[in-house]
Structure 1
Amino acid sequence: MTASAPRALSFDSAAAQYAAARPGYPPALLDTVEELAGRPLRGARAVDVGAGTGIATRLLHARGALVTAVEPGPGMAGELHRSLPSVPVVRGDGNRLPLATASADLITYAQSWHWTDPALALPEARRVLRPGGALALWWNVSDHSARWIEEQDTRLRRHLGAGDSAHGSPTGSRNLAQLSGGEFTHRLLSWSRTVPVDLHLANLATHSAFLMLGAAGAEPTRRFLEEERGHLATVFPDGMVEERYVVELAMLVG
């Protein structure tokens, strides 16, 4: 893996919480993947790379895709296997896919492309894809057009450091922008979910910026999340938080 490997593997320490608290993706996302790929997911041989606890894997499986999950972290892979025992889980990462050449119709990176070295991962994806196959990269990014999300982002960056947040991958947009050659098709898909404040705070705590603080950051994190609960109570007095997202999708076909 890349120099970001320790951060990428930090999720292992919170695999169960990650599975319980992280958001999924709207049905429109997989509809768009099918549209751009020019084929249904049902029966497609799909590979979900950086699959984590299987949030996207589960959705692909439910659509009828024949999914293999690729995940480097033992804790995340174990959580995925417990929840989806019928789906093969292969330990590995996108820089060196442990898969046969021309064996997949679709390769997906749900919230995980930024953990790769694109100079290695893109040729690997091309190698594993069959002719006419598709590579789909996507990120859930918090919708900063909502004032409360923008204000929360300011507090997160003050707490974690100016370059960090917990509103989706801080490099997601940059990765999309840096994909060269105009080969990728891009879509933005807005959606939301409404969850109890406890689940929202648990979601924040599963982001790598918090996890990398480790034991030394446990008490500061606890204090921050309790203060955040107070801020959220003024916006959502009923204790139910409307999390708003934009899914950034980039697809390469052919």
Structure 2
Amino acid sequence: MADGSVERARSFGSAAGRYGEFRPPYPEELFDVLEEASGVVLAGARVADVGAGTGIATRALYDRGATVVGVEPGAGMAAEFRRRHPRVPLVRGDGDRLPFASGSLDLLTYAQSWHWTDPARSGPEALRVLRPGGALAVWSNDPDVGVEWIADQQDRIEERFGPGWYINEHPRSQGGLEFTTRLLRWSRRIGVDAHLAKLATHSLFLVGRPGTDEFLARERERLLRLFPGGTVAEHYVVDLRVARAGQP
């Protein structure tokens, strides 16, 4: 990661509580598609969820019956994970140095977190810890810019802060890992203030860039004019990338 990305990667601990409260979940359909694309039945599967954060994806995997452990490098996020999910195992670590034995996992997942790794290290690490026939799954909740108001908001953010505010680097095929892609669209209805609170948990708004508070205040005014009832429909595209390790 570049130096600026390192700063942004470390910024989440200061907002761990808000992250857990306002970041969106993942649709149940995602986990059905994940099983189909990976060939791994989640119930009873040995799974590690890397960059677990506050445990949004980890808990969903746990609820599907996986024997899952979260992996989180940040102290603040790890503390919030443990507060929210005391029964779900968590270890401190990152994708570039996975704390697991070789060939020990059926499934390795990265939900909204692959872009915080060095793929030259995290790719080989994934191959090391997966059993033959296991799978690496990387996914993200991306704003659906096919929806006009979301595209307009994205344009305003880039106009004010520059391109690249939304960091999400998808994995690329490399030795032993060939990815297939599945896209799932879904939406949720939340209040304008909750939407802005979610926006404020993105790293751009956490690293203290000048003008972020003013931007969010103006954005609130715009959205309340657009949605006088005070509720917005957030639309997302879940981008799922799956690669299977060598077949057993």
- Smaller-chain TM-score bracket: over 0.9
Where do 1:29-40 residues align within 5 Å? Answer: 29-40=30-41
For structure 1, the 5+ residue unaligned runs are none
Asked if 1:52 is matched to 2:49, the reply is no
Return the letter of the residue paired with 1:179. S
What is the distance in 2 between the residues matched to 1:163 and 1:113?
16
Name the residue aligned to 1:5: 6
What is the distance in 1 between the residues matched to 2:164 and 2:7?
17
Q: When the two structures are aligned, how many residues end up with a matched partner?
A: 243
Name the residue aligned to 2:75: 74
- TM-score normalised by L of structure 1: 0.91
Return the letter of the residue paired with 2:233. E
1:245 is paired with a residue of what secondary structure? strand
8 Å Cα contact 2:184-2:238 kept in structure 1 = yes
What is the distance in 2 between the residues matched to 1:19 and 1:94?
21
8 Å Cα contact 2:123-2:174 kept in structure 1 = no
Once the two structures are superposed, residues 192-217 of structure 1 have per-residue CA deviations (whole angstroms, 9 ceiling, x without a partner) of: 11111111000000000111126xx4
**Identity within the alignment, %:** 55
Name the residue aligned to 2:137: 136
Name the residue aligned to 1:171: 168
1:202 corresponds, among 197, 209, 224, to 197
More deviation, 69-78/229-238: 229-238
2:240 is paired with a residue of what secondary structure? strand
Question: Deviation of residue 158 (structure 1)?
Answer: 2.1
What is the distance in 1 between the residues matched to 2:173 and 2:233?
32
Once the two structures are superposed, residues 13-44 of structure 1 have per-residue CA deviations (whole angstroms, 9 ceiling, x without a partner) of: 10000000000111111111111122320100
What is the distance in 2 between the residues matched to 1:61 and 1:162?
36
1:40 is paired with a residue of what secondary structure? coil
For structure 2, the 5+ residue unaligned runs are none
Once the two structures are superposed, residues 97-131 of structure 1 have per-residue CA deviations (whole angstroms, 9 ceiling, x without a partner) of: 01111111110000000011111001101111111
Where do 1:105-124 residues align within 5 Å? Answer: 105-124=106-125
Once the two structures are superposed, residues 60-100 of structure 1 have per-residue CA deviations (whole angstroms, 9 ceiling, x without a partner) of: 01101011100000000010011111111111100010111
8 Å Cα contact 2:112-2:168 kept in structure 1 = no
Name the residue aligned to 1:249: 240
Name the residue aligned to 1:22: 23
What is the distance in 1 between the residues matched to 2:174 and 2:125?
16
Name the residue aligned to 1:231: 222
1:132 is paired with a residue of what secondary structure? strand
What is the distance in 2 between the residues matched to 1:105 and 1:53?
22
CA, structure 1 residues 130+157, in 2 after alignment: closer, same or farther (shift >3 Å)?
Answer: same
Once the two structures are superposed, residues 158-195 of structure 1 have per-residue CA deviations (whole angstroms, 9 ceiling, x without a partner) of: 22223324xxxx333xx24x434781111111011111
- TM-score normalised by L of structure 2: 0.93
What is the distance in 1 between the residues matched to 2:103 and 2:32?
24
Q: Name the one with the larger helix percent.
A: 1
Return the letter of the residue paired with 2:44. G
Instruction: Give the CA RMSD over aligned residues.
Output: 1.6
What is the distance in 1 between the residues matched to 2:49 and 2:2?
19
8 Å Cα contact 1:2-1:116 kept in structure 2 = no
Post-superposition, which runs of at least 4 consecutive aligned residues in structure 1 deviate over 6 A? none
Return the letter of the residue paired with 1:78. A
